[in-house]
Amino acid sequence: MAQKLFAEFPPVSTKEWEEVIVKDLKGADYEKKLVWRSPEGFAVRPYYRAENLEGLEFLDSAPGQYPYVRGTGKSNDWYILQSVDATDGDFAKANKTALELLNKGVEALTIVICHKTEVSAEQWAVLLKDIALDVAPVYIKGISGHNVASVASWVEFAAKAGLNKETVRFCFDLSPLSCLVRSGRFDEAVCAKVKDAILAVEGFKRVKVLCIDGTAFANAGSNNTQELAYSLSQASEYINCLTELGLSATEAARRIWFRFNVGSNYFMEIAKFRAARLLWASIAKAYGTECCCAEKMYVHAVTSAWNQTVYDPYVNMLRATTEAMSAALAGVNSIEVLPFDYAFRTPNDFSNRIARNVQVILKHQALFDKVVDPAAGSYYIENLTKSIADGVWKLFKETEEAGGFLAQFKAGKIQEAIKATAADTDKKIATRRQTLLGTNQFPNFLEVAGKDITKEIVSKDIPTVNGKVIACNCPAEPVAEPLLPYRGAEAFEALRFATDRSGKEPKAFMLTYGNLAMCRARAQFSSNFFAVAGLRVIDNNRFETIEEGVKAFLESGADICVACSSDDEYAEGVPQIAELLAGKGILVVAGAPACQADLEAKGIKNFISVKSNVLETLKQYQAALGIKAL
């Protein structure tokens, strides 16, 4: 190991690298070709070197040390979590389900309770029977800021059960600002009730009370910068309110925990969680917290609901796996992998088992828990962490200077910003500059929506657990526009669902002729294009003549005839096809040929290419085929 293995290789400077790159680009714009503009708004370079680490203040920090970029402890262990539905009030059944999950590899639980339920000490005893709360943390979801009596009754249960205040791990989901985000309702008096809940759990070292739910922003289409900045601004709002009511900043901050979305941008997501810990530590310290426990961010990560697709749903397993990997490598406290069928039905035993086993494999076979912050020292991820942190800090300060989270949400500024981001993302998906595999690109040509998939899959409501939406229990009148959750695939799913439920079987026929390489390439592009809307594709290798191709089209009973050849052969071939078709079917030209203007002058109007807005174009063809939009 003492040998310098690379000593015989001369060092290469950044200047030398750049000179070679510029030469290889042959005059192309370096910034446009190689520099990626992330959704978070900062530039990502094509490569990073050791010199790019200079000036990163957190670089020399160790795991468990301020500012906790590398994790809040000296271990990378996390809790494998799954949800239990107790919204029907049958706590004995929920307890049975919870114990079964704990025997199948689950290490922590989210128990979802009806938002209207006030849980008594006796009911807590039934719900939590035989669950070792010092080993398996329980997160309660559905108790609003107006239901603090359930917190007091839990304390009564804990006393009767003899729970150790030092070791018991429990997280309540009191989140009045999340209620504001989801419903637009907010009661100004609720902060005093939250204070009562915090005082009720005094002495319980590991019990959290206030949940900052960043998934509410992510599921509405926010980017990572917005999710973190607005979440941190919520936390700041709570600390301000609670300290004004007499609590110390330490007591307020140490009772806060965070629930964040984890998306599919693998390295960016790793950097996001590292940046979140860095910023929370700085914010808590700025409030004058007196112990490190208040500066350590407690993070629960949930794989993305926004990314899930209804068509080709098994791809959701792959998405969730890489998402869980990002969260695990980033050093979060717990992870929930949503089942692959979460978006369109109540998950079954199989989908729950697969979701659970994703994490079991990551921990017990891939051994992701054995190395703390494996991203440490990575030129790329360290710089991503810094870039995200800078962007989040900038937006956080802007929000605070404009009056804070509550004022900005009431004024509609936060909704406006997230809507703009979501609209930009939707446009990228519509034009296929952003891919949702199996939905707007590379669909399963033969797939048809199953009977358990209904029109509601394209609505604006995402189920909180097992297909059930957990509403807000705030009695106040709306004071702001809520953020509506949706999935990125919804618009395309509505398109395909309309075809599947139309009672028709529209077909697109690939009329391939001329240059073999070009006609096959354009046939593959066009087949993929029309299959996205659920049209049945009739592909062909290559016809010897145009006459042969048109004859085959007419015999096929297809609705759309797609001319697939080279640009050179379109000038004469396409008018010939149009003449032979004599109005029987819709003629579409694959590509954007140089002769397009000449063809349009001859009455040929339909062209598809990589520049097309796939979503809007397919809507037009559906309308022409008599398929009603949903």
Q: What is the pLDDT of residues 324-357, one digit of tens each?
A: 999 999 999 999 999 999 999 899 999 999 999 9
By DSSP bridging, strand 536-538 and strand 507-512 are parallel
Question: Of 17, 15, 48, 46, which Cα lies nearest the Cα of 33?
Answer: 46
Q: How many residues appear in the chain?
A: 630
Burial class (CB in 10 A: 0-12, 13-18, 19+), 528: middle
DSSP secondary structure string for all residues of 340-387:
TTTTTS---HHHHHHHHHHHHHHHHTS-GGGSS-TTTT-HHHHHHHHH
- Longest alpha-carbon distance in the chain: 88
Written as six digits, the tokens of 90 are 């049958």
Q: Which 3-state string (H, E, C) describes 432-446?
A: CCCCCECCCECCCCC
pLDDT tens digits for 533-574? 999 999 999 999 999 999 999 999 999 999 999 999 999 999
Angstrom CA distances, 7 to 11, 13, 17, 152, stand at 9, 15, 19, 66
**pLDDT for the residue numbered 551:** 97
Show Cβ contacts of residue 238 under 8 Å, excluding neighbours closer than 6 positions: 177, 191, 194, 210, 212, 252, 256
Q: What is the pLDDT of residue 539?
A: 97
Q: What is the DSSP letter of 461?
A: -
Omega prior to 67 cis, within 30 of 0: yes
Strand partners, 299: 258
Q: Over the range 233-255, which residues count as b (16 or more CB within 10 Å of their CB) and which as e? A: bbbbbbbbbbbeeebbbbbbbbb
Distance of alpha carbon 399 from alpha carbon 393, whole angstroms? 10
Neighbours of 626 (CB within 10 A): 10
d(CA 492, CA 498): 10
Q: For residue 620, what pLDDT is reported?
A: 97
Question: Tokens 């609720």 — which residue?
Answer: 190
pLDDT at 453: 62
Q: Which residues pair with 538 in a beta bridge?
A: 509
> pLDDT below 70 — which residues of the chain?
1-2, 143-146, 450-476
pTM: 0.94
State how far Cα 584 lies from the chain centre.
Answer: 44
In the numeric block, the tokens 């494998």 are attached to: 80
Residue 213 one-letter amino acid: D
468: β partners: 465
Residue 21 neighbours by CB distance under 10 Å: 14
Q: Are strands 36-37 and 206-213 parallel, antiparallel or unpaired?
A: unpaired
Question: Which residues, at least 6 apart from 465, have a Cβ–Cβ distance to it below 8 Å?
Answer: 83, 85, 87, 110, 112, 141
Type of residue at 385? T
Question: Whole-angstrom Cα distance, residue 616 to residue 621?
Answer: 9
Contact 264, 323 (CB under 8 A): yes
3-state class (DSSP) for residue 47 = coil
Structure tokens at 475: 């009695």
How many helices (DSSP H) and strands (DSSP E) are in the chain? 23, 15
Q: Tell me the DSSP string of 4-16.
A: -TTTTSPP--HHH
What gap in Å lies between CA 395 and CA 230, rounded to an integer? 8
Using only C-alpha atoms, what is the Rg of the chain? 28
SS3 state at 533: coil
Pairing outcome for strands 43-44 and 36-37: antiparallel
DSSP character string of 287-310: TT-SSHHHHSPPEEEEE-STT--S
First-residue to last-residue Cα distance in the chain: 65
